[in-house]
Chains A and B, each alone.
Chain A
Amino acid sequence: MPDSAAVVHGETHNPALLHHFATEQQQRDSSTLGMWVFLATEVMFFGGLFCAYLIYRLAYFGDFAAASKTLNATLGATNTAVLICSSLTVVLAVWAAQTARRTLLLTSLVLTLILGCAFLGIKGIEYKDKFVEHHVPGPSFSFEKVSIPGHPGQYANPRHAQIYFALYFVMTGLHAIHMIIGIGIFVWLLVMSWKGRFTPEYNTPIEMGGLYWHFVDIIWIYLFPLLYLIDRHP
């Protein structure tokens, strides 16, 4: 692999190539590998929360279903679509950087930022609704006389519903923090792209930022059905 890379990149004085790497390909592979190891730790980080969610969902299924039904599934689905579109713009940005398409690169990055902010805006609306309905865990939490789907006359246990909402806020909140960090990264990528820092030979930051953004998208792909769509059917 290093031999073929050396032939493709004949010059050895590329300023983007750090001295402790033999080739640009090796430098790129090292970054990618490091990023994936970081994402592995992130998977385990979120994995603990998903595990807690699964255990409580098995234990208090009816209460979780009743609590899940108070979420706005349409807004959740819209946010999923928004994130998927942002993943497309991110992958276009990576491709544009690799093929030196400056206009597409800048447009894709701006669109990614707009979609990222739209996601957070919709999330903010949902959070506001939860505060208004007193569904935020804490002293003012209230979940009285909410019937369990499929079991007429049975009411959800507010203590168990509170566990659901605690998991909801921690999981979506942690995801939102990741989104905010991602937006910060993409603002920086936009500034660097505007200055023309990225070339087909050197675009590792865009690729790594893209990996991070797609990872955050994957987390939401699981959060949406698990949190919003428990026992929705009539």
Chain B
Amino acid sequence: MSGHDKSSPLATYLIIWGALLLGTFITYEAAFLDLGRFNAAVALIIASTKALLVALFFMHIKGAHERLLKLVVISTLFFLAILLVLSMADFGTRLQS
């Protein structure tokens, strides 16, 4: 896919690598701060940002010209959301009683 890209992506890879390591460090440090109910949210937001960086730059979703590929990726996230959100809507409201 990116085989026809003539410019060297080396700098991008190193920046993403640094960002991922920084994200790991922040996740680790933030876990020991008392953020109340936001601890889990912070951890998940950082994890999702890291996953997004890996998918976009290391797995070359960014720059992919194949539309079918984007359809597969988006539908994967869609079905995962059905699995998680609908289950949580059920159990989350049931357990409160």
Contacts and interface: CB of A to CB of B under 8 A. Distances in A.
Interface of A: 1, 8, 28-29, 32-33, 36-37, 39-40, 43-44, 47-48, 50-51, 54-55, 58-59, 73, 77, 80-81, 84-85, 87-88, 90-92, 95, 98, 200, 203, 207, 210-211, 214-215, 217-218, 221-222, 224-226, 228-234
Contacts of A58: 88, 91-92, 95
Contacts of B28: 73, 77, 229
A91 B14 CA distance: 10
Number of chain B interface residues as a range: 35 or more
Given A28-B3, A87-B58, 9 more contacts: A33-B72, A40-B75, A44-B79, A48-B83, A51-B84, A51-B87, A58-B91, A87-B17, A233-B35
Interface of B: 1-4, 9-10, 13-14, 17, 20-21, 24-25, 27-28, 31-35, 39-40, 43-44, 46-47, 50-51, 54-55, 57-59, 64-66, 68-69, 72-73, 75-76, 79-80, 83-84, 87-88, 91-92, 95
DSSP class of B's interface residues: helix, strand, loop or mixed?
Answer: helix
Contacts of B58: 87, 90-91, 210, 214
A9 to B, nearest CB: 10
Contacts of A28: 1, 3
A85 B17 contact: yes
Contacts of B73: 36, 40
Contact of A80 (B24, B34, B55): B24
B79 to A, nearest CB: 6
Contact of A222 (B9, B20, B51): B51
A37 B71 CA distance: 10
Nearest to B72: A36
Given A88-B17, A218-B55, A51 B83 contact: yes
19 contacts: A29-B69, A32-B69, A33-B66, A44-B79, A44-B83, A47-B84, A48-B83, A58-B91, A58-B95, A59-B95, A77-B25, A84-B21, A85-B17, A87-B17, A92-B10, A217-B54, A222-B47, A228-B31, A233-B32
Contacts of A32: 1, 64, 66, 69
B76 A77 contact: no
B9 A95 contact: yes
